[in-house]
Amino acid sequence: MVKQIPTDLDFEFHARGIIFIDILPSLWLVYVILKSVRKKKFIMNEISREILFSRAEIEKRVKELADQISKDYAGKELIIIGVLRGAFIFMADLIREISIPCKVDFARLASYGASSESSGKVVMTKDIETSIKDKNILIVEDIVDTGLTLQYLVGWLKERNPASMKICVFLDKRKRRKVTLEADYVGFTIEDGFVVGYGLDFNEQFRFSPDIYVIKQ
């Protein structure tokens, strides 16, 4: 039997085969990512929701809150502490409307997880980095319902001996309160219901919507 000598074309096909095998994992990863994105978009479209507060209503109310805060803290040094991650959009808009100088910091607490109901357990996952001793503090939160998260944060910050401490919340579910806690500045008071948009999310969905929606259960 005559042994066939490999040609340049044979080597080319062999090399292409090796390259194709090498890129198979990358192609599979791209497929998995695209499939995940399509699934998330499908889920967002399938969730039933209706608008609660429009972008125009939100902008108007944020301006009103900022004017009141600017008046109350005129001539004073103010440190604003935002509660991540839900409050960051509200806090950014609020600070741009406040007419007095202020410093900012952030804290992060976990209580919701992947559920639409509060777990009741609060864990501090990021502490502030600024010294607040003898300073005027304004906590900015996206929503308060049971009050457990804010109560925990207020107690945590009071140990640093600030001169004063007030709370500004965008949404207040007063009927769900489990502890005695009142916000000093409130954007809107709402009934019970799960809301998303303008920083508030459900499993990381709807966070960047400019309007506030209520999810229909």
The catalytic residues are: 145
- DSSP 8-state symbol, 122: -
Cα 87 from Cα 14, distance rounded (Å): 57
Q: Which amino acid is at 123?
A: V
- DSSP 8-state symbol, 145: S
Cα 74 from Cα 121, distance rounded (Å): 37
Residue 117's SS3 state is: coil
- Return left, alpha or beta for 74; rule: phi > 0 is left, psi -120 to 50 is alpha, else beta: beta
List alpha helices for 80-216, DSSP H: 88-97, 148-158
